[in-house]
Amino acid sequence: MTPSARLAAALELLSEDDEGSRPADVIAAAYFRKRRYIGSKDRGAIAAAYYGALRHRARLDWHLARHDVAAAPRTRLLAHQMLVDGRQPADLDTLFNGDRYAPPPLSEEERRLLKAIDHQKLDDPAMPAAVRVECPEWAVGPLEIAFGDRFEAELSAFVGEASLDLRVNTMRGDRDKVRDELTGLGIDCQSTPWSPVGLRVEGRPPLGGLDAFKRGAIEVQDEGSQLLSLLVDAQPGFQVADFCAGAGGKALAMAAAMAGKGRIVACDVAAGRLHKAKERIKRAGVDNIEPRQLANERDRWVTRQKGKFDRVLVDAPCTGIGAWRRNPDARWRAVDVDALTALQDRILASAARLVKPGGRLIYATCSLLPAENEDRIARFLAATPDYTIVPVGAVWRAVLGSDCPVAGEFLHLSPASTGTDGFFAAILKRQGTDNDGDAG
């Protein structure tokens, strides 16, 4: 593809994203799936332009507003090409030429914009802090309260790209051997600093064709998600419920920790996500995970399974702030925090019924908002006095054999503090004892 055609493709993606109907990764996957003739280098260039404009949207819009230009997919792409990729006005005049596979020619207003921002930098001292760190208006106040004087440092870490982390399936391979195998194929990877089963890969090499992937020895999973799965402390022989399992990444990690012994029920309300989970379960060679679709959080199955599980993980639906590096478009989508927290309360209350006496309930989100995290736990404990907090540091040391990198009763992970996605987790124990063994 020509450079002009690449920009035209990026503009198509940005225009569809601007409609707000689907997440950016879904839009990109569908676009490239329909155009399998596009080579890997072209895909990379198109994706870089697409995600770059999304990742820097607040700052691009600030520059556009300063020059009285309306923010739109095309103007954002033009500003990104200038302020981030360092192109010159003459370059873009050549690329936006109206040929068959090129974007339409520049308007006079666009030429004036390019001239005005020529030699300017993306970051400007006059920008408000929230603009510099790409924070949407609805999240500024709550996150300033949550982080205090660390607001800018913490949120800045969400602007860059996320690392590519792999979890080694210990039922199919040893981390050191898998690392050597990938290194031998020219893939630069290192052991993750916190997870004992993780690898961090440099760049974005294609993984689907690797033998390690095909035989189920590796799965793509952020190190933070790996840590959360390990801190569930799902031991061989346990009965475990993954109440909001999604595509099954955490269920697979827990199955490996259990050495395939015991039972995991991977629950979700979305049939599509569970279908993906089944594919991953088959590839990983796991036979102790049972996918189960629920009608809602109070499905009758929950009542029938009351008090039967040693561990129940609730990775609740949330604002997704902790995954902004991976999903930069999510910052700008409408969010109803009140509706989410109400749903989180209902899910937590229902899932708690599954836990046997002496068992544990682990509540987690990929959010940084206290309203979705500490506030939900406080409300739950006030209404459910037979649960108590288990300090995460004690579980971390017991499971991982090291000191927890964060202080306090709860787990708080973030790109700035741990180099992972943002996660919160609370570990709660149901009072009482289980005569069949110690699940505490």
Residues marked as catalytic = 366
CA atoms of 61 and 75, how far apart (whole Å): 9
Q: Which amino acid is residue 254, in one-letter code? A: M
Class of residue 90 by CB neighbours under 10 A (exposed 0-12, middle 13-18, buried 19+): exposed
Going from the C-alpha of 269 to that of each of 112, 277, 298, the distances in angstroms are 51, 13, 11
Q: Which amino acid is residue 207, in one-letter code? A: L
Contacts for 303-307: CB closer than 8 Å, 24+ residues apart: 303/353, 305/241, 305/265, 305/354, 306/353, 306/354, 307/353, 307/354, 307/355, 307/356, 307/357
CA atoms of 300 and 305, how far apart (whole Å): 9
What residues contact 56, with CB distance under 8 A and at least 6 apart?
80, 83, 84, 122, 134, 159
CA atoms of 5 and 43, how far apart (whole Å): 11
The token duo for 45 is: 């260039």
Class of residue 93 by CB neighbours under 10 A (exposed 0-12, middle 13-18, buried 19+): middle
The token duo for 300 is: 């009758």
CA atoms of 398 and 27, how far apart (whole Å): 42
Cβ neighbours around 435 below 10 Å, total = 7
